[in-house]
Amino acid sequence: MRKFNKSHKLDNVYYDIRGPVVEEANRMQNNGIDILQLNTGNPPAFNMMAPDAMIQDILRNLKNSEAYCHHKGLFPARNAIVQYYQTRGLLNITVDNVYIGNGSSELILMCLQALCNEGDEILIPKPDYPLWTASAFLSGGKAVHYHCDEENGWLPDIDDIKSKINENTKAIVIINPNNPTGAVYPPEYVQQIVDLAVENELIIFADEIYDKIIYDDLDFKPISTMTDETLVITFNGLSKSHRIPGFRVGWCIISGNTKDTKDYLEGIDILASSRLCSNVPAQQTIQTALGGYQSIENLVKPSGRLYKQRDIVYERLNAIDGIECVKPRGALYAFPKIDIDKFNITDDVKFALDFLKQEKVLIVQGTGFNWDKPDHFRIVFLPNPEELTDCMDRLERFMHHYKQN
């Protein structure tokens, strides 16, 4: 019988957030073993629910959401997004600049598919959120990773970015606040990257999905407000800040210099039209979500649950002999470093599997984020303080005697 293989477009596509370690966790769960799943930023799984008013929006508008809507999204929802960004200082956009998607993930792939030809290069941070690297390769382009410096609070290495720009470079991805490191880039630092993009005529893809999840009163400025000299496409959504990842509500905004991008933007529009529209019921909640009091503020202030959980993980990780961690300043994750010589670690997938099997906790190995050494892992700090303390107890117990065979 004829053999069918997967497409070669998938040769460089990995998504280990749901990879082989997760498969083992699923097998264990199917055998009745409880697993603490710290591999994804999934707030409702840890009893961090959406505001009731958002759910009411969907329920009350459900009967009016049965038909397709405009391929860019519902007008009131897009208008609410425009008004939100106007309050952040982005004044030169209209509803025509906004596309709503089934999460920002769909729109990331769409924007790269519309852009990339064979040989085109996209600059992506290392470590990265792996969807970006996967999408670049799936779109026929090539991901080129620039280094983020752990010794400098995981800020991007400007000189490394400069060294990797060439005639094939089409765009640069900036993930701020960052997943997986939790870094929040100072606006003046981001401006240096923006200036490089302008100088080299690069599109800026600004992944700002965690823009509301920032600790310690750090300053954050949307990249779209920093330049009108090059094209900026900003990605955001409600999955994390408003705790509705299952509803798949995201958007992208086209801003900046669109003078020579008409053909590219037509490509995005073709792809948006071909999927008809994103799910309509979930769009009904955007207007309420972006207006009025933002409940996420209660969670990230010093008395808030996320703030406390961030501190528990940071302090406990650094108290374990052989582990050190830069303090996360945003998002939902820590990305600690392991002393691989002390623990004889040569394979971080095996490390994650060993921890899973012994302590029933699911984490993601650092190489799953296109990090090039087996010396990091990502841990989600969404469990409540009691669960998180127990998790850190398990990790400390595990590391006390761990040696990789």
Give the residue among 324, 341, 331 at the shortest CA–CA distance from 218.
331
Q: What residues contact residue 348 under an 8 Å CB cut-off, 6+ apart?
A: 365, 366, 367, 374, 375, 376, 377
pLDDT digits (tens, 9 = 90+) for 258-277: 999 999 999 999 999 999 99
- Identify the pLDDT of residue 10: 78
- Identify the pLDDT of residue 18: 64
Average pLDDT of the chain?
A: 95
- Identify the pLDDT of residue 16: 64
Enumerate residue ranges in the chain where pLDDT < 50: none
pTM above 0.75, yes or no: yes
In the block, tokens 């002999």 appear at 321
pLDDT digits (tens, 9 = 90+) for 199-228: 999 999 999 999 999 999 999 999 999 999
pLDDT digits (tens, 9 = 90+) for 20-55: 899 999 999 999 999 999 999 999 999 999 999 999
For residue 108 the two structure tokens come to 């990331």
CB 17 within 8 A of CB 39: yes
- Identify the pLDDT of residue 240: 95
Q: Domain 54-290 class?
A: alpha beta
Residue-range domain boundaries for the chain: 8-49+298-401, 54-290
Give the residue among 330, 321, 281 at the shortest CA–CA distance from 401.
321
Q: What is the CATH number of domain 8-49+298-401?
A: 3.90.1150.10
